[in-house]
Amino acid sequence: MDRKSLTADDSQRDILAQKLLLEAEEALAERDSVAAMSLATKASTLLAPFLKLADSSVPSAP
């Protein structure tokens, strides 16, 4: 994903998702798997629209 081409809203969504992922890593380090899973799920939900965009830009196999 080219972060330079993101809209302001998408950029904010990306920043929040990255923060949630960092918090999930911290929760894992503290062995809090419930919090880690919750944070990672929230980040995944925020990043899902980017994945759909990436999939649509990849040409189909012949």
Structure tokens at 20: 């949630």
pLDDT per position as a tens digit, 12-53: 999 999 999 999 999 999 999 999 999 999 999 999 887 776
Exposure letters 15-33 (e unless 16+ CB within 10 A, then b): eebeebbebbeebeeeeee
Q: For the chain, percent helix, then strand, then coil, each to nearest 5?
A: 80, 0, 20
- DSSP annotation of 62 reads -
Does 61 score more than 60 pLDDT? Answer: no
pLDDT of 49: 85
CA dihedral 14, 3, 56, 46 (to 10 degrees): 0
How sure is the predictor about 59, in pLDDT bands with cuts at 50, 70 and 90? Answer: low
How sure is the predictor about 55, in pLDDT bands with cuts at 50, 70 and 90? Answer: low
pLDDT of 4: 74
